[in-house]
Amino acid sequence: MSSQQTMTYAWVVARTRSRNACKTRADLLSAARRRFGTEGYDRTTIRAIAADVGVDAALVLRYFGSKQELFAAAADLNLDLPDLTAVAPGRLAGALLARFFAVWEDDETFLALLRASMTSESVAETLRQVFAAQVEPTLSAVVPDHPRERAGLVGAFIIGLATTRYALAAPGLAAMDRDQITAWATPVVDQLLTGPAPPVPDSAAVRQLPRRRPERQRASLLPSVP
Amino acid sequence: MSSQQTMTYAWVVARTRSRNACKTRADLLSAARRRFGTEGYDRTTIRAIAADVGVDAALVLRYFGSKQELFAAAADLNLDLPDLTAVAPGRLAGALLARFFAVWEDDETFLALLRASMTSESVAETLRQVFAAQVEPTLSAVVPDHPRERAGLVGAFIIGLATTRYALAAPGLAAMDRDQITAWATPVVDQLLTGPAPPVPDSAAVRQLPRRRPERQRASLLPSVP
DNA sequence: AAGACTAGTCAACAACCGATGACTTAGACG
DNA sequence: CGTCTAAGTCATCGGTTGTTGACTAGTCTT
């Protein structure tokens, strides 16, 4: 793969700033974020991260203890959302989206967390805590009612944008630039934050009437030729 | 893990419907969907799938050739979206959301595809083709303008709902039921589908004037392919 | 009932990965 | 210059996984 590049890089660096533990540690964290962000948790190997920086794999474990601890150190996410109570009501969505674009594109911390959360329950829990500790309070402060529902929907939309654009690289979203996406997403976020709540019963009162039919048995009993 | 349970299951079944290749194959596909959908591609092992059904791991490879081919067979997704041109304009979002909820909850095909697409470029390509072949045409047929943008945004919202509710199990979305989520999501989808397009320049014509800051040379990787 | 076909099993290989502990060497200090 | 500490390396282990080929045993046909 890129063994030659890695070797050269390691050689140059080795002569340039050899034996600098602090820098090496920071480089390892950066390389780990890049690997975890692009390949996910399982496909990322300690050996690959070490090779990116040009050190031995054993050193990585010596610094961070284990792969999980390395990931926890690399995926420590701080959204640093603005205080929306100090923002003009008409610019709520714009401020939010601008901050999220920065989080997404500054480094690969968010992407690493997002990718890993799809296959690891513990990482998913980490992401849920990020949401509960940073997103929910920020949004609840500027919302007229139903804070849990509104925050959840806005969070889903934000996660959807990130997933579709950065992880999935779907052509629709990947082809648009920041300003276009912001323009389209702003009214959506505005509506979810401050628009009227939908006329829906919160309990199971009306959930009885138009129940759908069996929805066709998708048991897939017809395999193709073996 | 559940070796005893599995053994018992295999024993009972072995006496009940032994040597039924068609049924065994279907069971393997079902177990594969469940495993891939809950644990992702990498954490799912051939041995675990085989143990779920109660057969030897070698048989799985004998039927499907390789792990990748097994996944391809298990994650063959057909959204079966309704023809929206035959739906009353006021019920577009409702019809769409109802169908997507069915896709999400009927079986784990979609979840398997979604989880695996986060860490596999080839699976991501598969999901992009599903979108391009099934979602985009369906939405473009009922949209007044900007079909690519509107379809992309609706797709992002849909993916966000699925990710947040089923893969991430975020408390906000997981606590709401189908009808509540549908009620909140309907105006959003309606607005994205048929609402007014935002006043934004489509090309690089006006993108010059209010140029932001130097953008922090963190070139990053937007749509990259490893 | 005998053979043939095929569903299913068994054992093992080769590769890879995370982790461990002993070893080596660079560089600061006296 | 010698030494000591920390940075970094090396060899290796134990475990897992995908994959393979040879083998066993039901079931159907004639």
Residue-wise pLDDT for B93-147, tens only, equals: 999 999 999 999 999 999 999 999 999 999 999 999 999 999 999 999 999 999 9
Chain A residue with Cα closest to B60: A226
b vs e for B171-196, b when ≥16 Cβ sit within 10 Å of the residue's Cβ? bbbeebeebbbbbbbbbbbbbbbbbe
b vs e for A66-80, b when ≥16 Cβ sit within 10 Å of the residue's Cβ? ebeebbebbbebebe
Task: Enumerate the domain spans of chain B.
Answer: 3-74, 84-194
b vs e for A44-55, b when ≥16 Cβ sit within 10 Å of the residue's Cβ? bebebbbbbbbb
What CA–CA distances, in Å, run from A15 to A7, A8, A205, B17? 12, 11, 72, 68
Q: What angle do CA B131, B28, B12 make, to 5 degrees?
A: 150
Q: What percent of chain B has pLDDT over 90?
A: 79
- Residue B19's pLDDT is 83
Query: Do residues B186 and B178 touch, judged by C-beta distance below 8 A?
Result: no
Residue B49 reports pLDDT greater than 90: yes
Instruction: Indicate yes or no: CB of B156 within 8 angstroms of CB of A174.
Output: no
Q: Which of B29, B30, B152 sits opposite A170 (nearest CB)?
A: B152
H-type alpha helices, chain B: 3-16, 21-43, 46-53, 57-64, 67-74, 92-106, 109-117, 121-130, 136-140, 147-162, 171-174, 178-194
| A181-204 residue pLDDT tens | 999 999 999 999 999 999 856 554
Chain B residue with Cα closest to A44: B119
Q: How far is A199 from chain B (nearest CA, A)?
A: 7
Q: Which two tokens stand for residue B34?
A: 């469940």
Q: Give the C-alpha separation, B150 to B162, whole Å.
A: 18
For the domain B3-74, what is the CATH superfamily, name and number? Answer: Homeodomain-like (1.10.10.60)
Q: Give the C-alpha separation, A81 to A69, whole Å.
A: 26
Nearest in space to A10 (alpha carbons), one of A46, A40, A42, A50 = A50
| A11-31 residue pLDDT tens | 333 344 578 999 999 999 999
Query: Do residues B179 and B172 touch, judged by C-beta distance below 8 A?
Result: no
The closest nt to A59, taking CA to C1', is: D8
Q: Which two tokens stand for residue A98?
A: 């601008």
- Residue B8's pLDDT is 32
| B58-78 residue pLDDT tens | 999 999 999 999 999 999 999
